[in-house]
Structure 1
Amino acid sequence: MIEIFRDVKVNWLGRRKLYLAISGSIMLLGLVSLVVKHGFRYGVDFRGGTIVTVRFQQKPEIEKIRQLLRENGAPDSQPQELAGRNDVLIEFQGAKEEDASAGRSTIINALNKGFQGQFDVLSATSIGPKVGDDLKRQAVLATLYALGGMLIYIAFRFDSWIYGAAAVFAVFHDTLVTLGLFSIFNREINLTVIAALLTLVGYSVNDTIVVFDRIRENLKLRRRDSLETVMNDSINQTLSRTILTSGLTFLTVVALFLFGGEIINHFAFAMVIGIIIGTYSSIAIAAPLVLVYTNIHGRAV
C-alpha cells in the first residue's frame, strides 16, 4: 500500500476532549439554528408542491422568471437553470391536499405574462403534503434501519457491542453535524440529500471499521501496551490509507459541487461536508469513545 506518512507519532487520543468539544459545539450551533429557523428548509419532496421543467426558445433571464413568479402567485418558487439547452426547472412549494397540481397552472400563467408562446412545458410533477410527510417518515426510518444494521454487524464482527455502539454513534454524529450545517447555511433538504446521507453512513462506517480492525490486530500482538498507546499507533498506521481514500473521494465530490449544476448542488454539498466529517469522526470520535468506555470500566489507559 502507498504510504503518504511514515512513522507518524500523533497523539490523537490525548486530544480527545478537544475533539469531543468541537463536535459538541458544532451540533449545538446546528440545534440553535434549527430553533431560530423553526426547523429544516424542506424541498418539494417533503413539503409537497409542483416541479415543472420548461424549455425556452431563447436563453431566459432567471431574474425575470423569478420576478414573474413572485408577482403572480408563486413567491416561494425557485427557478433553476439546467445545463445544456435553454431549460429551466421551477419548484413551487406548499401544495394543498385538495389540489396538489394547482402549482402547474400558477407557474404557466405566471410565465405567460412575460414569455407568451416562447416556451414549452417538458414535464410537471406534483406531490401532495401527505405524500411528502410519508417520504419524510420513510427517510428517517431508512437512516435508522441503516444505523441499526451496522450496530449489529460491527458488534458481531468484533465480538464486542462497544465497537458497534462507538461506530454507530460516530456515524450518527456525522449525520447530525451534516444536518446542522444544512440548517446553518439554510440549505434545502430533499430526497437527493437523504441519498447522500445514506451514502455517507456506509462510507463513514467503512473508515471506522478499518481503524477498529487495526486496533484489534495490534491488541493481540501487543498485550503489554496500554489501550491508548495501541489505539494511537493503530490510527497512525492507517492514516495514509484514510487520507488517500478520503482525499480522492473528496476531490470528486468537490468537482461535483462546483460544476455539477443547481439540481445536485445540495446532494454534492452533503457529500463534501460528510466526507470531511466522516473522516474526522473515524479518528477523533469512534476510537476515543471506546477508550472512554474502557477507562470507566476500570481498564488501563
Structure 2
Amino acid sequence: MYINVIKHAKKWVALSATVALLSVGMLFVKGLNYGIDFTGGNLFQVKFENALPLGEVNGFLDKLSVNIPQLNSTSRKVQISEDNNIIIRTQEMSEEQKNSFLKDLESLGTYKIEKTEKVGASIGQELKSSAVYSLVIGAVLITLYITMRFEFKFAIAAVITLIHDVVIAVGGISMLGYEVNTPFIAAVLTILGYSINDTIVVFDRIRESLKKKSDLTFGELLDKSMNQVMIRSLNTSITTLLAVVAILVFGGDSLRTFIGTLLIGILAGTYSSIFLATPLVYFFEKNRDDKYEPKKEEHHEHHGDAKEKIVV
C-alpha cells in the first residue's frame, strides 16, 4: 500500500493546526491543574475504611477552616478516587496546623495515611522556571543537531513538529484535568525525544534518496522515502503504546499524569512524523521540484508495462 502524503499535504497540515489550536484554546479556557510541586502547599492522601461522599468531606473541611484558614473552600482542592482514597491539597501549613488537621480528620472515620507532601511556594516557582528552561534548551539543542546533520529547513520542520506534539499533549492533560507535577515535565521531555527520533528516521531516508539520481519530482521523492519507513515507525509506535496502555490501566493514580501525557504525545508524534514533518519539508523546499523534474515520458516512451502502485 502506497500513501500519497504530499498530494494532500495541505489537508494534513490543516488538520494538525486545527488540533493544536483546539489544544491551545483548552489551555486558555480550562488551564492546567498544577500540583503542589508548582504551586507550593501541602498534600494529604488518606484512605478511609468506609466510602465518604464529597459533600460530607467538604462540609467537614469548612468547619475546620475556622481554625485552619488554609482549609477554606478557595484554598483547597479535594479529590475522591478509588478504594476510598481522598486527596486534599491546601496552601502551605505549619507543622502544628498539619498535626491538628490530621487529628481532626479522625472525626470522619478510621483512616490510614497513604502520602503527605509539603513544598514551599518559592520552590514551586523555581520548579516552574526550571521546567520552562528545560523545554527551551531541549528544543534549541534539537534544532542545532538537525541543522548539523541535515539542513536548517529540516530543523525548522522538526521543531514545528515537536511543538505540535507537546501542545497537543499539554492540551489533552488540561482537558482531562490531570494534576501537573514534576513527572509531567519528565513525560513532556520524553515526548520530545520520542518524536524527534521518529522524525529523524524519515529525514534520514529522505537525505539518502536525495543523493541518488532519480526521475521523480521532489514531492514524489518525499512520498517514496516516507512510505519506505512508515511501517517501521508504525510498528515501533504500536509496541510502545501497548506498554504505555498497560501501565495506564494497572499503574495506579500516581502514574496517571505521566503515562497519560506519554500516551497522547506518542499518538501525536506518530501522526506528525508522517503527516506533518514531511509536508512541512515539502512546503519549505518546493523549489527543489525544478531539480527533480520527471523524465518519465522520455524514459517510459517505449515501455508500456510500468509497475502499478496503489495510491491511498
TM-score (norm 2): 0.80
Contact 2:218 2:289 in 1 (8 A): no
Matched positions, count? 282
Correspondence list, 1:1-12, <5 A: 8-12=1-5
Between 1:61-70 and 1:201-210, the stretch displaced more is: 61-70
Counterpart in the other structure of 1:111: 105
Q: Which stretch has the larger CA shift, 229-238 or 181-190?
A: 181-190
1:92–1:103 Cα contact (<8 Å) kept: no
1:152-193 Cα distance to aligned partner (Å, 9 max, x none): 1111112x1111221121111100111122223333221111
TM-score, normalising length from structure 1? 0.83
Could you tell me how far 1:124 is from its partner in structure 2? 2.9
State yes or no: 1:30 paired with 2:27.
Answer: no
Conserved 8 A contact 1:51-1:92? yes
Q: Single out whichever of 42-51 and 243-252 deviates more from structure 2.
A: 42-51
Displacement of 1:228 after TM fit? 0.9
Q: Distance in 2 between matches of 1:107 and 1:183?
A: 30
Q: Deviations over 1:9-68 (max 9, x none)?
A: 11012222112111211222222223223x322111111111235466xx3425468444
Partner of 1:77: 77
1:44 aligns with 2:36: yes
Q: Where do residues 88-107 of structure 1 align in structure 2 (5 Å cutoff)?
A: 88=85, 90-95=87-92, 99=93, 104-105=98-99, 107=101
1:185 and 1:274 map into 2 onto residues whose CA distance is: 14
Q: Does 1:138 align with 2:150?
A: no
- Structure 2 residue matching 1:280: 3-state secondary structure: helix
AA aligned to 1:77 is: K
Q: Of the candidates 251, 264, 284, which is equivalent to residue 255 of structure 2?
A: 264
1:3 maps to what in 2?
Answer: none
Match of residue 51, structure 2, among 43, 61, 64: 61
Secondary structure class of the residue paired with 2:89:
strand
SS in 1 for 2:254: coil
Query: Is 1:230 equivalent to 2:221 in the alignment?
Result: yes
* SS of structure 1 residue aligned to 2:2: coil
Whole-angstrom CA distance in 1 between matches of 2:273 and 2:23: 21
Tell me the residue number matched to 1:214. 205
Amino acid corresponding to residue 148 of structure 2 in structure 1? F
Change in CA separation of 1:69 and 1:61 when aligned onto 2, cut-off 3 Å: farther
1:121 CA displacement: 4.2
1:4 is aligned to none
Distance across 1 between alignment mates of 2:253 and 2:190: 20
Is contact 1:62–1:79 with CA below 8 Å preserved after alignment?
no
Q: Which moved more, 1:236-245 or 1:21-30?
A: 21-30
Cα-Cα RMSD? 2.7
Larger radius of gyration: 2
- 1:141 Cα deviation from its structure 2 partner: 0.8
CA distance in 1, matches of 2:17, 2:192: 19
Q: Distance in 1 between matches of 2:97 and 2:164?
A: 38
C-alpha separation between the residues in 1 aligned to 2:270 and 2:17?
17
Q: Residue 206 of structure 1: CA displacement?
A: 0.2
